[in-house]
Amino acid sequence: MALDASFVGRRYPAAAGYQVGREKIREFAEAIGDDNALYRDPDAARAAGYADLIAPPTFAMILFLRAQEELINDPKLGLDYRRMVHGSQSFTYHRPITAGDELSVTLHVDGIRTMGGNDMLTVRCEVTDSAGDPVTTARAMLVVRGPDQ
């Protein structure tokens, strides 16, 4: 089933903000096996010039997953989650995510196209802090495989 192309241009602001906690950063660093002190030791982070622990580069995916939930579960979009695979991912860092941040996130649907029987959905996530300043821009291309031949 083809995706509804009228979704291009839609925005999905997350209803609730996300508070970045030290323990969540440590848990995430542990899960990716990264022992960098700036993810674990607030004194080391402060000595390096940061206000508190900073988060690993792919930490923003936590916010991305939350933000995309409403979109991919919208029955009108026509996305079969079971056939969806992650095609590509990128992040642009305006500054590191830091423990204590109150982040907001808005998901944008940037493109929908069909190629070789598969649907490609391009989404962008803008993460901002409580001052409204940009923190991370994350882009993903999601591929929904067409029916098996």
Partner 1 sequence: MSQHRCAEVGAVAEGDELAPLQVRLTRADLVRYAGASGDFNPIHWSDRAARAAGLPEVIAHGMLTMALATRLVTTWIGDPGALMDCAVRFTRPVVVPDDTDGALIELSGKVTKRRDDGTLVVAITARAAGQTVLGNATATIAPSPPHKDISG
**Interacting residues with partner 1 (CB under 8 A):** 24, 27-28, 30-39, 48-51, 54, 56-58, 61-62, 65-66, 82-83, 85-93, 95-96, 98, 145, 148
Residue 9 or residue 16: which is nearer to partner 1 going by CB? 16
Nearest to 7 by CA among 77, 73, 69: 77
Q: How far is the CB of 95 from partner 1 (least distance, A)?
A: 4
Q: How far is the CB of 5 from partner 1 (least distance, A)?
A: 23
Size of the chain, expressed as the number of residues it contains: 149
How far the first Cα of the chain sits from its last, in Å, is 14
- Cα 128 to Cα 29, 93, 132: the distances in Å are 22, 11, 5
Residue 9 or residue 82: which is nearer to partner 1 going by CB? 82
Both tokens of residue 50? 């940061």
Q: How far is the CB of 110 from partner 1 (least distance, A)?
A: 15
